[in-house]
Copies of this chain bind each other. A is one copy, B any other.
Amino acid sequence: MDTYQKIMVAIDLSGESEAVLQKARLIAAPNADIHLVYVQEPMDNIYVGIVPQSAAFSGLGDLEARLADEIKQKLSALGEEFNLPIENLHILHGSPATEIHRFANQHQVQLIVIGSHGRKGLQLLLGSTANAVLHGSGCDVLSVRVGATS
């Protein structure tokens, strides 16, 4: 039994993504195949109830496109910093836990590494993605505690 050869690092592109990626590197096999994944959630998913009808809310589509550019740049910078080949950087669209599971299954990933926020309030909400990923995952999951105040 060897350590993890195929790893998927799911990040939210916050400042803490580097710490999550670093942990993945630490426990990966020397020549492990590390994939960096960001899941872009449709804005009308996130703001359902706030944006009454997304189609009627002019400018939302444009904003989403600009966001996509920003995400691409941030992901590329992170990939460069950690020497990951460009084909190992992925932007997916949909619900984070669902897309992460789908990707892990399709690529026969052995370990999913994800940041987990331990705080309360908003941070707890963010941390719920880690919980959702763990639930029903077909492979091992390393939840890296980020933003720890203790």
Contact = CB atoms under 8 A, between A and B. Distances in A.
Contact of A27 (B27, B127, B148): B27
B1 A22 contact: yes
A131 B135 contact: yes
Nearest to A25: B1
Interface stretch (A8-16, A35-43, A81-89, A137-145): A137-145
B134 A140 contact: no
Please give the count of copies of this chain that the complex contains: 2
Interface residues of A, number: 27
8 contacts: A2-B26, A3-B26, A137-B143, A139-B145, A140-B142, A141-B143, A141-B145, A142-B142
A17 to B, nearest CB: 15
Interface in A104-135: 116, 118, 127, 130-131, 134-135
Nearest to A28: B27
